[in-house]
Amino acid sequence: MIPIICQEPILRFAPSPNGRLHLGHALSAMTNADMAKAMHGRLLLRMEDIDVLRCTPDFERSILEDLHWLAIDWQQPVRRQSEHFAFYRAALDELIARELVYPAFLTRGEVKAKVAAVEDRGEIWRRDPDGAPLYPTEERHLDPSTRQQRIAAADRYAWRLNMDKALAEIRSAQAGALCWSETGDGEKGQIVADPAAWGDVVLWRSDAPSSYHLSVTLDDAAQGITHVVRGLDLYHATSVHRLLQALLGLPAPTYHHHRLLLGPDGRKLSKSNGDTALSTLREGGAISADIRRLVGL
Ligand code: GLU
C-alpha cells in the first residue's frame, strides 16, 4: 500500500514590531487564524525585527496585547528574527561561496543621480514592482582585488543577488518556469514568478543585517510553514521568495495574498496613521467582534 503523507497545515502571522498594529494587521491576523482553524492547522507568530534600530520591545509588547485582545491563539514559542542572524548569515555565506551575490557599494544618492542622468536623456530606467529604480548592475563584474580594496575602504556596503546569474542557475537546474500556487484575493492558481522584475535585490546590509527577503524565506522553511497568508502588497515579493527557495533548496509553501484595507485617502493603511491603530480602538472600548466587522470578516 502506498502511504498517504498528510502534512499538517502550519501558518504564521509575521508582524514587524516597528510601530503599532492597525486594522490591516487585524485583517491579516484574523485571516491567518480563521484559515488555520478551518484547515485544522497550527498558527505560529514571528516577530520580524531584523531592523534592530526601529523595532523595540515596547512595540512587541503592544502587538502581543493587541493579539490577545483580538483572541488570536498561536502556538509558542514566538520566533524573533533578531535571535537568528547567524542562521541567515550561513545562507548568505553559501550564496557568497557560489558567487551568486556581490558586494554593492553605491549609495542611494549615487543610484538616484545615475537614474536621473539616464532619464534626463529621455531614456527609460527600469523600476521594480514597488516603483523603485532597479540597482545598476555594473558592480557584478568588479575584479576580486578591486572588490577587496573597496570593501576595506567602504563604511558600509550591501550584498546583492546577481539576478541574471541566479536565474541562469535555476534555468539549468529545473525544467519549466518557476511558479507558485496562489489561493488569495488577487489572481489565483499557478502564478509564474518574475524575480527579474526586482533586479539585483539586497540580501544583506551592513546597517540592518539580513534583508526581509532572505530572512522571511529562511524562516518560512525553518518553521515548516505550509501556507503563507499575508497582504496583497507582498504579492510580487513572492517572486523573489520563490527564487531564493529554489536556489537554497527550500520547500515552497502555498501563498494566499489577501485584500488590503485602504484609508480615506485610498492608500494602504500605515503604522503612522493613528486612527486605525488597534490600541486606540481598544482604548475606545471596541471588542474583537467589532474589529472583525470593521475589517469585513
Ligand atoms: N513583516 C512583514 C510586515 O509586517 C510581513 C511579512 C510577511 O508576512 O511575509 O509587513
Give the residue extent of every domain in the chain.
1-82+261-297, 84-215+235-250
> Please, what is the average pLDDT of the chain?
94
Ligand 1 pocket test target in 44, 212, 227 with most atoms within 8 Å of CB: 212
Closest CA to 217 of 94, 56, 75: 94
* Candidate CATH numbers 3.40.50.720, 3.40.50.620, 1.10.287.90, 3.40.50.970; the one for domain 1-82+261-297: 3.40.50.620
Long-range interactions of 83-86: CB distance < 8 A, separation 24+:
84/215, 84/218, 84/219, 84/222, 85/50, 85/209, 85/210
Cα gap 17→50, rounded to integer Å: 10
Residue at grid coordinates 557584478: 140
**For residue 142, what is its C-alpha cell?**
568588479
Can you tell me the mean pLDDT for 207-217? 88
Centre of ligand 1 to C-alpha 60, Å, is 14
Can you tell me the mean pLDDT for 140-165? 93
Classify domain 84-215+235-250 at the CATH topology level. Answer: Glutamyl-tRNA Synthetase; domain 3 (3.90.800)
Distances in Å between the Cα of 72 and the Cα atoms of 20, 45, 60, 293 are 17, 10, 15, 15
Ligand 1 pocket test target in 234, 235, 242 with most atoms within 8 Å of CB: 234
User: With bands split at pLDDT 50, 70 and 90, how would you rate the model's confidence at 275?
Assistant: low
Q: Which of 39-43, 134-138, 144-148, 272-276 has the lowest mean pLDDT?
A: 272-276
